[in-house]
Amino acid sequence: MLHPRVEAALNAQINAEMWSAYLYLSMAAYCHNEGFTGMANWFQVQFKEEQDHAQILFNHVISRGGRVKLEPIDAVETEWASVLAVFENTLQHEKKVTMLINDLYTVALEEKDYAAQSMLKWFIDEQVEEEEGVQDILNHLRMIKDNGYGLYMIDKELGARTYTQASPLATSAE
């Protein structure tokens, strides 16, 4: 049985993950409108990954006898000054998500919810990868600045990204 404080924190994170998905879908739309279809693809994969994250948390709450409470999704940004600004916003957002996951883990520790702690370790590792990946893209975008050929190459590279279902969902389906 879930402690009410853990259940509330997990529900807050489910809703935060859904908002993140919505934000990344908006970023994909922006990139499409700017002609960067590869970057749009990268954000569409992010959109699906955030939905997976919400589903993992959703499944955990349900499996522990809790109740999922979905809230309305707040509006997200739809315009940025450049693709560099989009990825700067992405890194800022991922750092915020890392903080939210860390705070959620702290609640699980304080309430001695060992199952939640175990599940959340995957998210902690995932956030390290998320921040590192976005930082790499930012480093490349800053290096090439407004060089058209460089932007073309990064766009092509990001267009090759494919969606892979999050491992906690893949193992639960077996």
Q: What is the CATH number of domain 4-70+80-162?
A: 1.20.1260.10
Binned at pLDDT 50, 70 and 90, residue 172 comes out as low
The pLDDT of residue 174 is above 90: no
Q: What's the CA gap between 133 and 128, in Å, rounded?
A: 9
pLDDT for the residue 23: 98
Q: What's the CA gap between 120 and 7, in Å, rounded?
A: 13
Percent of the chain with pLDDT strictly greater than 70 = 98
The pLDDT of residue 67 is above 50: yes
The mean per-residue pLDDT over the stretch 148-174 comes to: 89
Q: Give the mean pLDDT of the chain.
A: 96
Domain ranges of the chain: 4-70+80-162
Q: What's the CA gap between 171 and 158, in Å, rounded?
A: 27
